[in-house]
Structure 1
Amino acid sequence: MAIIQQSTTEDIQSTAGIVIDKLQSWWVAFVENLPNLGVALLVLILSYFLSRLVFKTTLKLVVGRVRQRSVAKLIAKVIAVIVVLLGLFLALSVLNLGQSISGLLTGAGISGVVIGLALQGTLSNTISGIVLSFRKNIRLGNWVETTGFSGEVMDIALNYLVLKEADNNIVIIPNKTILENPIKNFSLTTRMRVMIECGVGYESDLEQVEQITKNVIADSFDQIESTENVEFYYTEFGGSSINFLCRFWIDAENSLEQLKAKSKGIKKIRQAFAKEGINIPFPIRTLQFDDQTLHVSKAEKTEEA
């Protein structure tokens, strides 16, 4: 029994000695590397404050080029994080922790691959949002048409674009979809063409119809200087009317103004035609039954009987 207790005491003393020796070696290493620790800590502090300065400076520079503030903040934060990481690597190199730096780089690479695969769709939309924010052919307030939707650009976020349609509905479209599909921007030009199609009766004086239409359109819109700026073409002999196309340009930047101009033109043309007695016919189908047709029908019924 005494032998067992003595052996246990020796094991405890041996273990305690190992721990004490290890703590002493750590203390010696800490004291020896104390200047390096101070330099590393100073590097980290300086890198932190430098990153904040870089963030503010970058944000001011980017905001002037990117109207979307969320994207500007993202770019500024990425640059600030890069500054902090550089400070961290420099601090580790001061402490002669080259293996730690290699481990961090390896871990960052593996983590980046895993995160990239897991968030492939999100990252794609985010990158697309950054690209859209730098494109000059689409801005906030523009009236655009894309992927079957048309409206005013209200917001270009990191992952999506917000459109406000003419009926006041809000449409949220992923940025990736915007880049992969054609987009029509009505706000890039200050003039839009309005086209009005109509038809008049076959008994109408076609020269009079043309002249009245041109005069009405020229008088209804201030931006049209004369009737020479109004295009008028007869297009076809329809089933109940002779159809024509009237085209003219107006100062507009969105399709809503184009619709309002078209509506105004239709009302003015209708009023002018009614005043002059010009008929705008609607489709008519005439069914004619002669005596022969009725005779054949009666004969068929008799045979069936």
Structure 2
Amino acid sequence: MEQGVQATTGIVIDKLESWWVSLVENLPNIGVAIIVLILSYFLSRLVFKTTLKLIDGRVKQKAVAKLIARVVAVFVVLTGLFLALSVLNLGESISGLLTGAGISGIVIGLALQGTLSNTISGIVLSFRKNVRIGNWVETTGYAGEVIDIALNYLVLKEADNNIVVIPNKTILENPIKNYSLTTRMRVMIDCGVGYESDLEAVEKITKNVIANSFEQIESTENVEFYYTEFGGSSINFLCRFWIDAENSLEQLKAKSKAIMKIKQAFEKENINIPFPIRTLKFNDQTLKVSKAEEALET
């Protein structure tokens, strides 16, 4: 029994002595590895600040800019870690770390596929010049002002002040109409006048009203006017003109103003804008049959 204890104690002591010898022999390498890790840490902080300054003007979303800077900083730290392990002659450890990182990356990627997809889409959106904060856009059935582009979602503020949150992946996969990319918008007005109206006078009055109501319209030649159909109770026409606007709200205001001015001008000239009506005609035979039916019922 005592011999077994002594043998075990000897093995432990020999192992500790070998470890101590290895520690002493590798002290220079350990010192270099620690210096490399410290340098990589401070270098990563410097790289983080530098990257943030470089992309600050190109990426308006602070969250996206910080994410990119952090990724670059983490890459610097990982590079320092692998260099430190190389100094310590831990080749097997490096291979194990790489293998573990690869497997972990696959597992995390599968588990967070939707989140990562939205995050990457947010980074892509932040670099796109055709979608910016403050733009008035329409996509996936919603229209409003872009008030935020986060890592995972885009926030719209609709005309009725409702907030709509749309995943970034949905934005990239669907068409998007950006009204703010152009400084001019076309206003279209559908209206109708009575069949008794002088059509040439209606056209002339409408063009004059539009040209005099908006400063950006130089003359009546810039106003389009077309009669479109013989309606059930009116002859319908389409009036189109361009205004300086960057969102649909300004377009709605211009359309509302044009409708009021056209109605005022038509009332002044006694031009009728009829509402839908139905005219019923009866001949003598129809009236006689109706009277006969009434007599039978009584």
Q: Do both proteins adopt the same fold according to a TM-score greater than 0.5, normalized to the shorter chain?
A: yes
Gaps of 5+ in 2: none
Gap change, CA 1:155 and 1:33, over 3 Å in 2: same
* 1:114 corresponding residue in structure 2: 107
Distance 2:163 2:240 in 1: 32
- What amino acid does structure 2 have at the position aligned with 1:267? M
- Aligned to 2:217, which of 214, 217, 224? 224
Q: Which secondary structure does the structure 2 equivalent of 1:202 belong to?
A: coil
Q: CA RMSD in A?
A: 1.6
Instruction: Encode CA deviations 1:103-123: one digit per residue, 9 max, x unaligned.
Output: 000001011111111111011
Distance 1:267 1:12 in 2: 106
Q: Which secondary structure does the structure 2 equivalent of 1:178 belong to?
A: helix
* 1:242 corresponding residue in structure 2: 235
What's the offset of the Cα at 1:303?
9.4
* 1:36 corresponding residue in structure 2: 29
What's the offset of the Cα at 1:69?
1.1
Distance 1:300 1:28 in 2: 124
Q: Which secondary structure does the structure 2 equivalent of 1:90 belong to?
A: helix
What's the offset of the Cα at 1:11?
2.4
Identity, % of aligned pairs? 84
* 1:186 corresponding residue in structure 2: 179
Gaps of 5+ in 1: 1-6
* 2:65 corresponding residue in structure 1: 72
Q: Which secondary structure does the structure 2 equivalent of 1:270 belong to?
A: helix
Question: Given the alignment of the two structures, is residue 141 of structure 1 paired with residue 100 of structure 2, yes or no?
Answer: no
- What amino acid does structure 1 have at the position aligned with 2:51? T
- What amino acid does structure 1 have at the position aligned with 2:54? L
Question: Given the alignment of the two structures, is residue 152 of structure 1 paired with residue 145 of structure 2, yes or no?
Answer: yes
- What amino acid does structure 2 have at the position aligned with 1:162? V
Q: Which secondary structure does the structure 2 equivalent of 1:224 belong to?
A: coil
Distance 1:114 1:187 in 2: 42
Q: Which secondary structure does the structure 2 equivalent of 1:244 belong to?
A: strand
What's the offset of the Cα at 1:296?
3.6
Distance 2:29 2:281 in 1: 108
Distance 1:156 1:103 in 2: 39
What's the offset of the Cα at 1:80?
0.5
Question: Given the alignment of the two structures, is residue 62 of structure 1 paired with residue 62 of structure 2, yes or no?
Answer: no
Q: Which shifted more, 127-136 or 282-291? A: 282-291
Distance 1:10 1:44 in 2: 46
Distance 2:20 2:293 in 1: 120
- What amino acid does structure 2 have at the position aligned with 1:154? I
How does the TM-score come out when normalised to structure 1? 0.94
Distance 1:49 1:154 in 2: 36
Instruction: Encode CA deviations 1:237-267: one digit per residue, 9 max, x unaligned.
Output: 1110010111110000000100010000000
* 2:275 corresponding residue in structure 1: 282
Distance 1:216 1:301 in 2: 55
Q: Which shifted more, 242-251 or 295-304? A: 295-304
- Aligned to 2:158, which of 160, 165, 173? 165
What's the offset of the Cα at 1:297?
4.8
Distance 1:55 1:12 in 2: 57
Instruction: Encode CA deviations 1:30-50: one digit per residue, 9 max, x unaligned.
Output: 110000000000000000000
* 1:100 corresponding residue in structure 2: 93
Distance 1:90 1:215 in 2: 79
* 1:86 corresponding residue in structure 2: 79
What's the offset of the Cα at 1:300?
6.9
* 1:251 corresponding residue in structure 2: 244
What's the offset of the Cα at 1:187?
0.5
What's the offset of the Cα at 1:171?
0.5
What's the offset of the Cα at 1:286?
1.8
* 1:127 corresponding residue in structure 2: 120
Instruction: Encode CA deviations 1:218-251: one digit per residue, 9 max, x unaligned.
Output: 1111111111111111111111001011111000
